[in-house]
Amino acid sequence: MAEMSQRIEKLREVKTTAMLGGGKEKIEKVHQRGKLTARERVNLLLDPGSFVEWDMLVGHNKGLPTEGIICGYGTADGRAVCVYSQDPTILGGSIGFLHGYKMYRTIERALEMGVPLIGLHDSPGARVVRLEEGGGALGDMLSEKHGGSVFFPNTEASGVVPQISAILGACAGISVYSPALTDFVFMVDGISQMFITGPRIVKSVMGEEITMEELGGAKVHASVSGVADFRVKSEEECFRTIRKLLSFLPSNNEEKPPVIDTGDDPGRIDEGLAEIVPADGRKSYDVRKVIARLADNGDFFEVKAEFAPEMVVGFARLAGRSAGFVANQSMARAGSLTIDSSDKQARFMRFCDAFNIPIIMLVDTSAYMPGSYQEHAGIIRHGAKVLYALCEAVVPRIAVVLRKAYGGGNLGMGTIPGFKTDFTFYWPTAEAGVLGAEQSVDLFYSKEIAEAEDPVKYKAEKVKEYRDKYANPLFEASVNPYLDDVIEPKETRRLLIRTLQALQNKKVIRQPKRHGNIPL
């Protein structure tokens, strides 16, 4: 009995040491930098008392408690998730073999359990081998299950369970590639940085002086590179936002998202919708206001809000059920389709399709943005990603043309029949065609305009004539059987809900294959 007591005491001692990570002094330094510790992060993210840790004792015999990463499972608002949290108080959070193995195994377990994975990243990357340690130059990376090969389970889990990453320190190399493979990336102002090579390497190789924040801070990745899906002001806000994101998602690809009683009347009509969108196609408006009026209780959860603002994507609920909204934003680049908006749109739609979330397209675009920059940067290749994502999707999809749908805009927003959009509705303000009325008149009547007694007046009359006939949704409805209805704006929410209910058991069978070859 005495021997058992001694063993229990030793176990408690080792676990107490592990709970302190690198020790009180290093924890204090973390707090001085305005950051939370690895354990504080897990405790804030998960429901109180729900966290169950595994492999806690790994590394204790080498003086590396937990090997610098805390792993386990718990619940977030009652739903099971797997989580790992890198600990910068242990060798800076660098990834050695056992650290990498724990990371790898956590992703595998999330896949086996069929629950979302959340990675809290705070690591400079792979642990560098010292001269006196011997071994190969790649050191611990020669193991099959190491941080360097964690991309394999990330890829295996892609489209099977949601994967969410939070960047909570200066992360480089391996520590940014794994998050880049996950579905959503969060960054926090002032403490989050991501880069393949840091400022010192940039300076030594390129001679460029740049700070970590300028090179890979939260604002850069949220608005310029598009790597970050969410930029928040604090770690506490980060964890609250992750929990909210999870509320829209299923636990895995075999489930549908949870249905939540929002208390908002599914039969509600909204007279105010018609006042938001000007009939004049040259005037802009904020399409997020339209989405908010359609969503339950006005709750719209936007994704990549700062990147490619000409396209708005995000989640909302309709009658308590999750839906993914994809909308042209006339306030930015007149809602044109661009290389960046194409990447943003295609990736969001593919996520929704993977996880049984229906897609709502709100259309108001004059087509792809013209110009040498867009062409040289690969608008054809990037735009093709959208076409691929639209044709690949099997979830219910509804398009509502609010105003303009011209030329390639019909392709990029899936309003052409061959894209298999389930239902297409027009508002009375909708204008559709291969070209806009002005461009069509210029194409067909340039000679007549030039020879007219009053060219300006003649052109204006022709534009009106063309718009009245061809940019007229009532005329379009009379000749286009693929246009399901022209609706009043106030009816849109109610009609979307009823249509989604009708489509909830939709099944699509596709050709068997390993996978397609999406244009990347």
pLDDT of residue 129: 59
| CB-CB contact of 191 with 236 (8 Å) | no
DSSP class of residue 222 equals: I
pLDDT of residue 201: 85
pLDDT digits (tens, 9 = 90+) for 150-191: 999 999 999 999 999 999 999 988 889 999 999 999 999 999
Token pair for 169:
């320190």
CB atoms closer than 10 angstroms to residue 31: 12
| CB-CB contact of 273 with 490 (8 Å) | yes
- DSSP-derived secondary structure for 12-38: HHHHHHHHTTT-HHHHHHHHHTT---H
DSSP H/E element including 166: strand 163-167
Low-confidence ranges of the chain (pLDDT < 70): 129-148, 435-436, 470
Q: Output helix, strand, coil percentages for the chain, rounded to the nearest 5.
A: 45, 20, 35
pLDDT digits (tens, 9 = 90+) for 461-515: 788 877 777 678 887 888 888 889 999 999 999 999 999 999 999 999 888 999 9
Q: What whole-number distance in Å separates Cα of residue 389 and Cα of residue 412?
A: 10
pLDDT of residue 135: 47
Q: Which amino acid is at 103?
A: M
Q: What whole-number distance in Å separates Cα of residue 383 and Cα of residue 339?
A: 7
pLDDT of residue 131: 45
| CB-CB contact of 489 with 287 (8 Å) | no
pLDDT of residue 198: 85
Q: What whole-number distance in Å separates Cα of residue 372 and Cα of residue 65?
A: 56
pLDDT digits (tens, 9 = 90+) for 454-476: 878 878 878 887 777 767 888 78
Buried b / exposed e along 328-365 (16+ C-beta atoms within 10 A): bbbebbbbbbbbbbbbbbbbbbbbbbbbbbbbbbbbbb
pTM for this predicted structure: 0.93
In the chain, the domains with their CATH numbers are: 34-247 (3.90.226.10), 273-434+472-502 (3.90.226.10), 437-470 (no CATH)
Closest CA to 71 of 97, 48, 104, 44: 104
pLDDT of residue 137: 47
pLDDT of residue 67: 93
CB atoms closer than 10 angstroms to residue 299: 15
Token pair for 387:
């076409």
